[in-house]
Amino acid sequence: MSFAVDFALVEAVGEAVSRHVRRTPLLRSDWLSVRTDREVFLKCENLQVTGSFKVRGALAALARLGAEERRRGVVAASAGNHGLGLAHAAAVHGVAATVVVPRSAPAVKVDGIAALGARVVRSPHDGYDDTETWTLENLGRLGGLWLSPCEDPAVIAGNGGTTAREIFADAPALDALVVPCGGGGCAIGAGVVARRMSPATRIVAVNTEASPGMWLSWQEGRARRRVASRPTVAEGLEGGVGEQAYALSRRYIDEVRLVSEAAIRRAVVGCLLRERLLVEGSGAAGVAALLDGHVEGRRIGVVLTGSNIDRSRLGELLARDPTERPEG
pTM of the model as a whole = 0.93
pLDDT in tens, 104-151: 888 888 999 999 999 999 999 988 889 999 999 999 999 999 999 889
Between CA 132 and CA 65 the distance in angstroms is 22
**CB within 8 Å of 225: residues ≥ 6 apart:** 129, 240, 241, 242, 243
How would you classify residue 27: left for phi > 0, otherwise alpha for psi between -120 and 50, otherwise beta? beta
Residue 327 lies in a domain: no
Q: Are 285 and 137 members of one domain?
A: no
> Both 157 and 267 in a single domain?
yes
- Among residues 100, 128, 146, the one where a domain terminates is 146
Q: Which of 100, 116, 146 is the last residue of a domain?
A: 146
pLDDT digit string, tens, across residues 239-281: 999 999 999 999 999 999 999 999 999 999 999 999 999 999 9
Does 256 share its domain with 271? Answer: yes
Q: Rounded to an integer, what distance in angstroms lies between the CA atom of residue 241 and that of residue 128? A: 11
In the listed set 129, 146, 163, which residue is the last one of a domain according to the structure? 146
Q: Per the structure, how many domains does the chain have?
A: 2
Distance, CA of 162 to CA of 189 (rounded, Å): 8
Q: What is the CATH number of the domain that holds 41?
A: 3.40.50.1100
Residue 326 lies in a domain: no
Do 202 and 285 have their domain in common?
yes
| Structural domain of 88 | 55-146
